[in-house]
Amino acid sequence: MKLSVLLFALAATTTCSLNVTSAEAQATRVFVSGGGADNNACTITKPCRNFQAAHNAVAPGGEIDVLDPAGYGTLTITKAITIQGHGIAGITAPSGLIGITIRAAATDEVNLTGLLIDGVGTGGGGIEVNSGASVNVQQCIIRAVGGTPDFAGIRVQPSSGSTRLFVSDTIIADNATNGIALVPTGSGSVFAVVDRVRMENNTSVGLASDGGQSSGTISVTVRDSVTAGNANYGLLSNGNSTMWVTRTGIIGNGTGWVTITSPQTNTTGVLHSFGDNSLAANGSDGTPTDTIQPK
């Protein structure tokens, strides 16, 4: 009898331990803090120190919350997740490397809010999207990254399927290449909306929509935004790319906007203006494909 009771108690204890571990592993909301530790449980009272540890601890579709101002390390995202940076979360992109790399599944949605990604002049890229259903970037600052054509403030480069990008209330500036680069390859496609975004002082293009490397398509809308002081172009549409632009300032760029014919696909980018944009002080304004009257 005593042996049976002991075995029952051990079994119950083991079951409880497994349930607790499972519950912790499946937390839908975790926390990071400058005073945290990566071997913590990532709870509000025992937060993790870095984004990667919190990402690994949270359940798919869960949320990481930032508790105080600090730098939280580079991050590779492989699942649906939301990060609430609250405007106080920093990421320093190391030399030649990416601040946030997204390699999510075709059904995963990623939301990034209130982050400062700074390359300090030597960092590789800000946010690089290789796969995922959608990426939503809100109220972020991405600056001083780049250095090679393969990097950008935000670079979206699916090789198959379709990825959606939504950027709003964000500053992308002082990057040593493009501010935003939409560059699908293979059969990849991109659908993007850029709303209330400042793309400023980048050494190449404010927004480059380059459909010249893919059999897929790019569809991008730019609204209520500013592309200014970019050395080459404010807006570029190349190959299998269609861009709609409305209520946007295109100011002080090498060329305001341009369409390019891709030798790979033998197609020319399309750039529709709604006739309500402001162009000034560009080396040359350039010419959109056409001007559409708003309905």
Nearest to 264 by CA among 210, 218, 220: 210
Nearest to 139 by CA among 198, 87, 75: 87
227 C-beta neighbours (distance < 10 Å), count: 30
CA distance 246 to 229: 19
CA distance 51 to 98: 14
pTM value is 0.92
Yes or no: say if 213 and 240 are a contact pair by the CB < 8 Å rule.
no
CA 277 to chain centroid: 26
Q: Which distant-in-sequence residues (6+ apart) come within 8 Å of 3 by Cβ?
A: none
4 C-beta neighbours (distance < 10 Å), count: 8
Burial of 154 (0-12, 13-18, 19+ CB in 10 A): buried
SS3 (DSSP) at 268: strand
Yes or no: say if 195 and 202 are a contact pair by the CB < 8 Å rule.
no
DSSP 127-173: EEEEE-SEEEEES-EEEEEB-STT-EEEEE--SSSEEEEEEEEEEEE
Per-residue pLDDT of the chain (295 residues; tens, 9 = 90+): 443 433 334 444 444 444 444 444 579 999 999 999 999 999 999 999 999 999 999 999 999 999 999 999 999 999 999 999 999 999 999 999 999 999 999 999 999 999 999 999 999 999 999 999 999 999 999 999 988 888 999 999 999 999 999 999 999 999 999 999 999 999 999 999 999 999 999 999 999 999 999 999 999 999 999 999 999 999 999 999 999 999 999 999 999 999 999 999 999 999 999 999 999 999 999 999 999 987 7
Q: Which distant-in-sequence residues (6+ apart) come within 8 Å of 70 by Cβ?
A: 32, 33, 34, 88, 89, 90
Parse the chain into domains and list their residue ranges.
1-60, 73-291
Which phi and psi angles does 11 have, rounded to 5°? -65, -40
| One-letter amino acid of 248 | T
Tell me: domain 73-291, CATH 2.160.20, correct?
yes
Strand duo 178-182 + 70-71: pairing: unpaired
